[in-house]
Structure 1
């Protein structure tokens, strides 16, 4: 396999054509992917009002979240700029045991105001903003797609956790100089725009979105000296993640930060 990756898009964003197999192996056919999905399975019903309303799933990747929502009765429109990732998602849907439809749209976030304008009562945008050159502008675009009173489930790759992880690994100079972002030009899956909680707070305020709740995903797993070796150890780790994912100060070092943001009703 080549060590190069497809170039960034014309907007400077990273897509995953040519990397879908690696993405699947590295993130979902691995313990960290299993834990991420297990945490979402618990947290999303706690953090969202799920009333089988239509959902716009932005940057849906391999389709796990879209399938999770469809299985719970939500009509889903899943968008994804990578044709290869979209093909994976369509294949997964074709073999899934759900009668709820999923509409697949190949488009980047910047095109959605024209292609899927809504307004949408529920938008999910998980692990997308960190792959964009301008995540602040993306937040504005998400707000425009959201209906008054609507919910945005936003998950971002946590810049502060990335720094802490580099320190734990001994990359002290890299952490000190704040050289944390990936370049997007190789096979490595370090995001090009890791995001801090302070940035999300600022961007939410700029767009008059209310942060209703926040949780950390993989608060402990990425810092373990040795991953769990047995089913009992894996169960203990999951229990710890569940217990502390919404507690101060632990959630702040989750590898991902999961938010529920609300667009106020029109006055």
Structure 2
């Protein structure tokens, strides 16, 4: 399958004010999935998702699927997967990884931003995953409204968001006291640094979910201890101990509240979301339709 290339732009942000990752795939992979923190993230999701979701082999929409790790996980669990990703470079990497790991699974690659999904992958979907995406968007509340509009009544949304409260705490631990006092926590998206432009609080997720007719069924913290360590674990035994600590306390109050990421299961109530709440910008002209894509 040939993927369209992204149009050249003088800005690292999209027309929607979102941060995409063309030209940053290597840095993205190393920063988010490299080393112990990446191992912990994937290991915790491997344990948490079967407990937090009702998995029955439903078709899955993976929004902002990046390098394809999550799509591959759901495919191995028997779900037909549509992976939507706006970055041509990231989608190419995902395709290569998924061809190698999931050759016999049904996976469709869709080069599209979240804003285009109501037209290109309207569903309704009984299962959607959107992990570590909202924090890179210019309007995360509108993005959540779009996701809610794509869900079927009773449908599940597995949402993972970068925790603003954890980012504040981490800055204090590092001695960035004035930055924390000024609440200057978000990145600008103008350089190669990977600080999210829209880190979110648990209170925001709860409020927006209530407004959009989404019920919060489950919540957990991802990496509630690791990111505050003075030095990373040096031995395999220490890595195992850390994983056990993370697993033991990731759903225990107050520990989960300081996870670097917050993981939610949101369920759409039977009452529909109002069109005004779910309205978003029109899709970009460079997107292509779902039916034009080939299964991986």
Compute the TM-score of the two structures, normalised by the length of structure 1: 0.97
Q: CA deviation at 1:266?
A: 4.7
- 1:130 maps to 135
2:207 aligned partner = 202
Q: Which shifted more, 21-30 or 182-191?
A: 21-30
> For 1:115-143, what per-residue CA distance to the aligned partner results, in whole angstroms no more than 9, with x for missing partners?
00000000000000000010010111000
Query: In the alignment, is residue 101 of structure 1 matched against residue 95 of structure 2?
Result: no
Q: Which among 12, 15, 23 is matched to residue 17 of structure 2? A: 12
What residue is the counterpart of 1:213 in the other structure?
A: 218
Runs of 4+ with deviation above 6 angstroms:
none
1:44 is the counterpart of 2:49: yes
Matched, 1:158 2:176: no
Matched, 1:175 2:161: no
Query: Residue by residue, what CA displacement relative to the aligned partner does 1:64-120 show, whole Å, maximum 9, x if unpaired?
Result: 000000011100000000000000000001111452210000110000000000000
Structure 1 counterpart of 2:59: 54
What pairs with 1:81-96 in structure 2 (closer than 5 Å)? 81-96=86-101
2:131 matches 1:146: no
Q: Secondary structure at the match of 1:56?
A: strand
**1:184 equivalent in alignment to 2:189:** yes
CA offset at residue 27 of structure 1?
Answer: 1.6
Q: Which moved more, 1:94-103 or 1:73-82?
A: 94-103
Maintained 8 Å contact 1:71/1:98: no
Per-residue deviation, 1:28: 1.4
Instruction: Write the deviation string for residues 37-56 of structure 1: whole angstroms up to 9, x where unpaired.
Output: 00000000000001010000
Work out whether residues 65 and 83 of structure 2, in 8 Å CA contact, stay in contact via their aligned partners in 1. Answer: yes
- Which ranges of structure 2 fall in alignment gaps of 5 or more residues? 1-9, 273-296
Per-residue CA deviation, residues 228-248 of structure 1 (Å, 9 max, x unaligned), is 010110000000000000001
Q: Is the 8 A contact 2:36 2:239 kept in 1?
A: no
What residue in structure 2 maps to residue 236 of structure 1?
241
| 1:196-224 per-position Cα deviation (integer Å, ceiling 9, x unaligned) | 00000000011010000100000000000
RCO higher in 1 or 2 (8 Å CA, sep ≥ 6)? 2
Which runs of 5 or more residues in structure 1 are unaligned? Answer: none
Per the TM alignment, residue 265 of structure 1 is displaced from its structure 2 partner at its CA by 2.6
Is 1:220–1:241's contact at 8 Å kept on the other side of the alignment? yes
Distance in 2, matches of 1:43 and 1:158, equals 18
Hey, what's the Cα distance between the residues in 1 that align with 2:204 and 2:191? 26
Tell whether the 8 Å contact from 1:13 to 1:131 is kept in structure 2 after alignment. Answer: yes
Partner of 1:28: 33
TM-score between the two structures when normalised by the length of structure 2:
0.87
